[in-house]
Structure 1
Amino acid sequence: RGYHLKPTFVHIITTKGKGYLPAEGDAVCFHRVPAKGVSTKAIPTYSEVFAQTVLRLARQNPRVVVITPAMPEGNCLSMVKAEFPQRIFDVGICEQHAVTFAAGLATQGFIPIVAIYSTFLQRAFDQIIHDVCLQELPVIFAIDRSGIVGEDGKTHQGTFDISYLTLVPNLIVAAPKDENELQHLLHTAVKSDYPMAIRYPRNSGLGVELDTELHEIPIGKGETVKYGDDVAILA
């Protein structure tokens, strides 16, 4: 009675971060509420080391391309986009397409790196299985925000990737022990001919020195970090 029984489209324009000036002033990058008054040492984040390494690998190999589902800034890929604008693809918030697109590029001889947050990769689980891993295509998944993300909030917790990725045949899943090993794992993945997922946190690295020369890491081989007699710790 008195209501229009027909479809109604309501277009509401909002202001991101309304009421909090720092958020209103940075609609692209302000996705979290940072801790106040906390001083941090100037150590590069894993995301920054990832982007610097990708830029280095792209300079060395013209077949390296990067795909991101609407997160070029979050993945620190602006430096890559500035130097190689034709080799970085922002497909928007379309994670499934990002993975299938990467698979297609791999069939044509490219080395695609899918730069994606852990929490968003789970949207493309079917494509990971059917379009990449069953075909054994050399797609690299660079999985940022793996583990607990803190300030980014519970929607961005990267707590499921190990569980669902280790189920998938033909996929290597790796987690670097520090930022130096991250760059070597990326180099290893680019040199490989199989699918590989590299997961790393959103935080700053450990502050270790970064090797100037990249080398391949043997897959499936352990490393003894410290010798002792009383306790054995496997990690």
Structure 2
Amino acid sequence: MKKTILIIAITLMSITTNAQKKWFTAYQDSVALLNNANKITEKFKKDVYKFKKDDKFTTTTILNTTPYLIFFDGENKVNIPLWSQVLPELKAFTKEVTGSEEEGKRMFGLFFNGFYLIHEYGHAYQETYDHENSKASYQNEHLANTIAMLYWRKIGKKKELKQCYELAKKMFAKLPNPVPEGISKEEYLTKNYEEATQNPFVYAYMQFGQFIEIYEDQSLPRFDEYMKSKFK
């Protein structure tokens, strides 16, 4: 019996590991995209159940390509995009900020079929366990980005995070600062959140700026410590 359980556990670990190896790339196959997203997020949910020993965190993933690309809908679902279904205008944006169509597609894979999956599950986790403080804001985007950064590090995705970081710095250097004089970026995004999400240049400036800041922050604890301190 013990041997059977061990074999099942090893098999499940192997399936999750294979899904992680393919992640951070632009998927062509919608079935593979959704299957791998589910394997990764099921592991994430099991890992965070260590902090909240209940059955409340039941967020699921669906394939739904919209102009928002990847997002938590507030109704317990994370929507993920497929590259072939992305609007031409958004593909043009990825080309402009990266320098080529090929790099634009690579960026999409690294972030939207990659890093931001756990970012959105970070939003979902906060919505579940800290609903009163989960409104859209600069601070909560920072929280979700930190959860994602620390979790991907926890499961060994340092190489992919470095690739995201290097590309984020390249893109950020091309993005104009949308924040008017006399107001902080934190206040600006919080007050203009909906408007910002509809302008890829503004939202990219905020998101990639946060990614760079968090990646470079040497004071951050490990994932488990961070989650325990934020969601008591």
Q: Which structure has the highest helix share of the two? A: 2
Q: Which structure has the highest strand share of the two? A: 1
TM-score (norm 2): 0.31
